[in-house]
C-alpha cells in the first residue's frame, strides 16, 4: 500500500509534536487501526489549528462549505478505521455522503485540503475543513 497520502496529511495538518507517532501508526499495517482510532478520539488535539478553514458539527450544511464542495468535486482519498472505505478513492461529494452516514471517523484528502469527520459522540461530531492555504 502506498502511504504518501497519509504522510502528506500528517505532515501538513497535524501539529508537529504529534506527527511522528501518528505517521508511524498510519503507515504500519499492524498499527493502522490503532492510529486511526486514536485520531478519532483526539482529532481536536492533534490538528494544527492554523490549518482550519471551517469547522462545526454542521459543517456539511454550511453555505461556504457547500460552495467549496461544488467547486472541488474531484477524486479524493478516504481514510477511516472502517475497512469498507479505508483507502478508497471517490469524488468529494460521494465521499461526503459516505462520511455523513458512518459512525467512525473519516478523513478525506483532496488536492490542497483535507476534511475530518470525527467519531460520532453524544452532543455531535467534530468536523473540520483543513487547507494548506487559507484562501481555499
Q: What is the pTM of this model?
A: 0.90
Q: What is the pLDDT of residue 29?
A: 87
Q: Which residue has the higher pLDDT, 20 or 43?
A: 20
Q: What is the pLDDT of residue 135?
A: 62
Question: Would you give the distance in Å from CA 122 to the centre of its chain?
Answer: 20
Q: What is the pLDDT of residue 136?
A: 57
3-state secondary structure of 129: strand
Q: Answer yes or no: is pLDDT of 40 > 80.
A: no
Q: How far apart are CA 99 and CA 93, in angstroms?
A: 10
Q: What is the pLDDT of residue 42?
A: 82
Nearest one of 104, 123, 128 to 51, comparing CA atoms = 128
Q: What are phi and psi of 87, to 5 degrees?
A: 85, 0
Q: Which residue has the higher pLDDT, 90 or 134?
A: 90
Amino acid at each position: 500500500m502506498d502511504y504518501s497520502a497519509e504522510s502528506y496529511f500528517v505532515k501538513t495538518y497535524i501539529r508537529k509534536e504529534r506527527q511522528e507517532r501518528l505517521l508511524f501508526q498510519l503507515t504500519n499495517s499492524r498499527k493502522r487501526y490503532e492510529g486511526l482510532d486514536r485520531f478519532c478520539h483526539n482529532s481536536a488535539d492533534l490538528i494544527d489549528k492554523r490549518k482550519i478553514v471551517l469547522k462545526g458539527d454542521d459543517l456539511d450544511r454550511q453555505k461556504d462549505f457547500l460552495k467549496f464542495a461544488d467547486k472541488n468535486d474531484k477524486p479524493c482519498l478516504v481514510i477511516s478505521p472502517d475497512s469498507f472505505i479505508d483507502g478508497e478513492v471517490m469524488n468529494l461529494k460521494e465521499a461526503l455522503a459516505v462520511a455523513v452516514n458512518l459512525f467512525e471517523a473519516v478523513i478525506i484528502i483532496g488536492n490542497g485540503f483535507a476534511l475530518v469527520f470525527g467519531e460520532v459522540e453524544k452532543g455531535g461530531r467534530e468536523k473540520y475543513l483543513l487547507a494548506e492555504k487559507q484562501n481555499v
